[in-house]
Chain A
Amino acid sequence: MAKTTEVTVWATGVVQDKEGRDVCLVLTEAAFNEGKFTQAFDNYVDLPDRINVQVRKYARISDAEIENKFEYENHRPNIVGVCEATIMKGINVCKGLQDGGYLIINSTKKPEDLLKYVPEKEKKRLKAIACVDALGIAPEQLIDYSGAEGAEDVSAIGLGLGSAMAGAIAAVSGIVKKESVLGAAANRTSAKRGYDEVKIKVLK
């Protein structure tokens, strides 16, 4: 079986619910257009309808059909995205990270400054850590109070913060090509800026 790349995106409940989800949707849409097999799914575990609670959004991308359909969590991610850097202070966002994994954070700070929030065990596995000022690039965070579960998304996918994050994740990890990620995001400009402006620190 071909290897599946798993992406976990951390966001804040309700406030970034859509943007976190959009990161996963833009990446899987981009990969799907490249002919890959994909899954993107929302969170059912973290009780996501509480404002500012830490929530996770997931994506899986593979060259072959993905077989584990009914597991709604990525326990061993290859790529971790963090839509709000403060989340890292209170939780080990990289838990279960695969060796050679990537960590991409929305922050105006330098990647070196945020490395202290990654515990030693996970730090050894990180291939690169990167920061992108996604909120500065695309300040829109569409707040939808209808709830995470069963909500209908009437706006376009990848309009705000999520597009810049998806661009940055593509640039750092190379999981999808630049053209695909720009094509999948509704806000092409901010996806491009996320791709171009991400600050990367390679660790190994």
Chain B
Amino acid sequence: MKERYKKYTVEIPEEMALPFAGIVEAPKVNGEQPMMLTGGWRIYRPVVDHDKCVMCKSCVLACPDATVLLVDGGQKIGFNLDYCKGCGLCTWVCPVNAIDRVPEIDFEDGVPFQDALFLLPHVEALYAD
């Protein structure tokens, strides 16, 4: 099987491999890429019921922002809440309805707090007294 498809396969050298989405790196936990923090967009937070989850990993593939994580050594589903934008796709694809959507405002924390959007030095001066 593998041999048959070999002629259609292009080997990409590691230094030429494209990052996630072809343009930017996949989001890191702890808000290391502040200019693209999308956690603040989230109105409904995905919450997984581990008892229901069958670890099919459909949600991992479906998430457009690569924010569904495999945690506990790949045994459990987790979320990178700094960047999850609450689109609900993971809930939609889950075959056993294990992911709930809970209003974000009912949680105490979980959203990185930004002082301003697109805060560049010349913009900061405009907010001053």
Given the known inter-chain contacts A85-B105, A86-B104, A89-B104, please indicate yes or no for A54 contacting B43, CB distance below 8 A. Answer: no
By size class, the interface of chain A is 20 to 34
Residues on the A chain within 8 Å of B112, using CB:
90
A95 in the interface, Cβ–Cβ < 8 Å? yes
| B42 CB to nearest chain A CB (Å) | 7
Given contact pairs A76-B127, A96-B127, A107-B105, A86 touches B42 in the complex (Cβ within 8 A): yes
- A52 is an interface residue with CB less than 8 A from chain B: yes
Contact (A92, B103) CB under 8 Å given A52-B85, A52-B86, A76-B127 = no
Secondary structure at chain A's binding surface: helix, strand, loop or mixed?
loop
Chain A nearest CB, measured from B91 CB (Å): 15
Most chain B C-beta atoms within 10 Å of own C-beta, residue among A13, A53, A87, A89: A89
CA distance A86 to B113 in the complex (A): 12
Q: Between A and B, how many residue pairs show CB distances below 8 Å?
A: 63
Task: Give per-residue flags for B28-41: 1 if the beta carbon is below 8 A from chain A beta carbons, else 0.
Answer: 00000000011111
Bound: A46/B115 CA distance, A: 14
B105 contacts A86, C-beta separation under 8 Å: yes
- Are A109 and B105 also in contact (CB < 8 A) when A52-B41, A53-B41, A90-B112 are? yes
| Smallest CB separation, A20 vs chain B (Å) | 15
B71-129 with Cβ < 8 A to chain A: 85-87, 103-105, 111-118, 126-127
- Bound-complex Cα distance A95 to B114 (A): 10
The 0/1 profile, CB within 8 Å of A marked 1, for residues 58-75 of chain B is 000000000000000000
Q: Which residue of A lies closest to B103 (CB)?
A: A86
A52-B41, A52-B86, A86-B42 are known contacts. Are A95 and B127 too (CB-CB below 8 A)?
yes
Measured CB to CB, the closest approach of chain B to A139, in angstroms, equals 15
Cβ of A136 to closest chain B Cβ, rounded Å: 14
CB-CB contacts below 8 Å: A62-102 with B: 73, 75-76, 84-87, 89-92, 95-96
Main secondary structure of the interface of B (DSSP, over half): loop
Contacting pair A90 B103 (CB below 8 A): no
Q: Which of B105, B113, B116, B127 has the most CB of A within 10 A?
A: B105
Beta-carbon nearest neighbor of A97 in chain B: B127
Chain A residues positioned under 8 Å from B87 (CB to CB) = 51-52
**Which residue of the partner chain B has the closest CB to A98?**
B129
- Which residue in B43, B86, B113 is a CB contact (below 8 Å) of A92? B113
10 nearest A-B residue pairs (beta carbon)? A90-B40, A96-B127, A75-B126, A90-B111, A52-B41, A89-B111, A86-B105, A86-B43, A86-B104, A92-B115
Interface residues, chain A, with chain B CB atoms under 8 Å away: 12-13, 45-46, 51-54, 73, 75-76, 84-87, 89-92, 95-96, 107, 109, 119
B→A interface (CB under 8 Å): 37-43, 85-87, 103-105, 111-118, 126-127
Beyond the given pairs A52-B43, A91-B117, 8 more chain A to chain B contacts, judged by CB atoms under 8 angstroms and listed by A's residue number, are: A13-B41, A52-B86, A73-B126, A86-B104, A89-B104, A90-B39, A91-B114, A91-B116
